[in-house]
Homo-oligomer: A and B are copies of this chain.
């Protein structure tokens, strides 16, 4: 493992003001796909439309030889049959990449270049983590739990299996699952087959895929993805604040139909029911507002009944569209008092970029 100093010198490059997206960013964008915005119409995102962020390669895992190791006061080893024989829970949960919005930041941190759409809702089925941890035994000295995947790669010269840690108390929440199914089918390779972590409310980096080991440790884990990558910093040398739960955000299904290249929308005049989704990991979504003038004035949207505490919430607003050119925006606020900003604060890693979506529309 490398020193904190070494890590602090290894942060994304910041793009020059006029610099377009590079081939390295494009290569990531081709692999790590977003939710097509029209797929916001589904309560649960169909297979293949949910966003994906895969740091290294998708590992190929033989289900038969797969074993999960759990290291607490004692050691457990479980195969898939053992996990499937345990209590089974299904939960709809919205995941979002912590880097969502990065490519719209100015200046732009050079990494996975998300615009607005790194989100999706899965119906995750698995077994609760807490009872398994208690079976392994949580020592008095236990502070964090480290979750390690089978995906292996390099970051700024540092070689690692992907790993993330969570405080013990977060791991004991009853809705934290070890999931082996998504939307009623066995996990797909790209979603972590055969087993992944599901921590409702937290950003995607927490949802460790291809999970091979769970280990209780007596210290604050200093792996790359906790100590460095997923932090809010202003300077590369800052220690920064950890990225944790999902900040509120709303998105809309773009109305009308698109121009292929610009994605500008063409809408017929008259009443248009705008719809979309809003979510927050801090509390239930309580308010969604829509603007047809680029964020100058806002109108409250109607909220659909919640699909569950941890999934996005539908909203709708009727727009009386008159001929002209518009920029539609939408924003969300949660019951914990968090409001989505029109323009989010910049940070050095390009995290939690929740500036509002802007949809250009021509009404004819």
A residues near B (Cβ < 8 Å) are 12, 19-31, 33-34, 36, 38-39, 41, 46-50, 52, 54-58, 60, 103, 110-111, 113-115, 117, 152-155, 159, 188-191, 254, 257-263, 266
Contacts and interface: CB of A to CB of B under 8 A. Distances in A.
A110 B260 contact: no
B31 A259 contact: no
Contacts of A24: 261-263
A189 B154 contact: no
Which secondary structure dominates where chain A touches chain B?
loop
Contacts of A115: 23, 26-27, 30
A68 to B, nearest CB: 22
Contacts of A260: 55-56, 153-155
Nearest to A262: B24
Contacts of A30: 29, 33-34, 114-115, 117
B257 A153 contact: yes
A262 B257 CA distance: 36
A32 to B, nearest CB: 8
12 contacts: A20-B21, A21-B26, A23-B103, A24-B261, A26-B29, A28-B263, A30-B114, A36-B58, A48-B48, A48-B191, A154-B259, A159-B266
A36 B190 contact: yes
Contact of A49 (B26, B190, B261): B190
